[in-house]
């Protein structure tokens, strides 16, 4: 139960039509990390606001169906999008024919959480560390294969950026999500994978995968033994798998600020914080301006490598 001392006037429900259920749209199926994050936050916001907050799953097209639904919704505070970062920073570059622009038609309220992205290999693979990984990649005919959660996914784009930064040939073998990609690496059919820590950390801890690095500025609290990209000589190579709350363009600043404040209060609750952090999904709320700046910066960086490598999601 949320502490009622947190439920001051600034955390009041942002809906203009008071008492109307607030919909939190999710672009992926129930049970995935986006959905789990949304339901955890929705429960807290519902208690804080005293207004129903209903999670509405609208999967498909890498989250674009959900993003477009929110982009077309009235800017009245009653419709929010729980978005995976790639929906707003990568999809605009990798999907042709979008009839909306996430950067233009959605506005950020807050980042909710972030998770480090880690590089790992099958324990039977010859590479014992990151230097060995690069050496094996250079020796592999046609480039070293790695498993990805899909063409145009965050890990695909980050691995392409890694290949270009290091000059080593890396070839993505794409699956429909991490749940399909990880077993191929566990079985040794594909030697390597880069994926968010929440999905591969249990396998690293159990010795079924060997972690080589996190693409981060500081060591992970849940996997402190993994060196950072910076420690390994990769400057400015820090990328998170993050989630954020967005609203339709035109939503007023007071609404966005109330969503941000209420979300931050929910994330301070010990049960919520512990549940997220234990899985490597770190609470990381921001102001509306901060999340919008993050979107703008990543949209530019990812756009450059996507265009250079001609990455398409279709």
Number of residues written out for the chain: 314
pTM above 0.75, yes or no: yes
124: its two tokens: 């039977």
User: Residue 219: how many CB atoms within 10 A of its CB?
Assistant: 15
Instruction: Give, to the nearest 10 degrees, the angle between helix 33-49 and helix 253-268.
Output: 100
Picking from 44, 185, 46, 170, the residue whose alpha carbon sits closest to that of residue 120 is 185
Residues 6+ apart with CB under 8 A from 301: none
Cβ atoms 302, 89 nearer than 8 A: yes
Strands 144-148 and 192-196: parallel
Alpha-carbon separation of residue 82 from 66, 85, 109, 188, 233 (angstroms): 9, 10, 10, 34, 34
Q: Kind and range of the H or E element at 198?
A: helix 197-205
End-to-end CA distance of the chain: 44
Cβ atoms 197, 33 nearer than 8 A: no
CA distance 134 to 238: 18
Per-residue pLDDT of the chain (314 residues; tens, 9 = 90+): 333 333 333 455 555 445 689 999 999 989 888 999 999 999 999 999 999 999 999 999 999 999 999 999 999 999 999 999 999 999 999 999 899 999 999 999 999 999 999 999 999 999 999 999 999 999 998 889 999 999 999 999 999 999 999 999 999 999 988 989 999 999 999 999 999 998 999 999 999 999 999 999 999 988 999 999 999 999 889 999 999 999 999 999 999 999 999 999 999 999 998 888 877 789 999 999 999 999 999 999 999 999 999 999 87
301: its two tokens: 């960086």
Please work out, in degrees rounded to the nearest 5, the angle formed at the alpha carbon of residue 63 by the alpha carbons of 109 and 270: 50
The full set of domains in the chain, from first to last, is 4-114+242-309 (3.40.190.150), 116-214 (3.40.190.10)
Cβ atoms 257, 288 nearer than 8 A: yes
Residue carrying the six token digits 């063409």: 151
Residue carrying the six token digits 């039509």: 17
């Amino acid at each position: 139960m949320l502490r009622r001392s947190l439920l001051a006037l600034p955390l009041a429900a942002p809906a203009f039509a008071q008492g109307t259920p607030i919909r939190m749209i999710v672009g992926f199926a129930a049970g995935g990390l986006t959905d789990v994050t949304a339901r955890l936050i929705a429960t807290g916001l519902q208690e804080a606001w005293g207004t129903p907050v209903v999670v509405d799953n609208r999967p498909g097209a890498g989250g674009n169906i959900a993003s477009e639904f929110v982009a077309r919704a009235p800017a009245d505070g009653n419709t929010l999008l729980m978005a995976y970062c790639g929906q707003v920073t990568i999809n605009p570059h990798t999907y042709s024919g979008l009839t909306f622009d996430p950067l233009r038609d959605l506005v950020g309220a807050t980042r909710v959480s972030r998770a480090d992205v880690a590089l790992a290999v099958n324990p039977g693979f010859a590479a014992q560390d990151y230097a060995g990984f690069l050496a094996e990649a250079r020796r592999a005919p046609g480039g070293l294969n790695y498993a990805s959660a899909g063409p145009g996914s965050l890990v695909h784009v980050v691995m392409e950026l890694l290949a270009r930064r290091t000059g080593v040939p890396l070839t993505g073998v794409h699956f429909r999500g991490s749940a399909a990609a990880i077993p191929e690496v566990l079985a040794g059919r594909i030697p390597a994978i880069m994926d968010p820590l929440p999905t591969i950390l249990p396998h690293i801890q159990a010795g079924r995968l060997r972690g080589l690095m996190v693409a981060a500025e500081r060591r992970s609290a849940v996997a402190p033994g993994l060196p950072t990209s910076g420690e390994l000589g990769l400057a400015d190579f820090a990328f998170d798998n993050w989630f954020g709350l967005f609203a339709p363009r035109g939503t007023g600043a007071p609404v966005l600020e109330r969503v941000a404040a209420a979300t931050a209060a929910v994330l301070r609750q010990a049960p919520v914080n512990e549940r997220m952090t234990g899985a490597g999904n770190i609470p990381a709320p921001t102001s509306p301006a901060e999340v919008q700046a993050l979107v703008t910066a990543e949209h530019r960086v990812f756009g450059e490598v996507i265009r250079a490598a001609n990455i398409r999601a279709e």
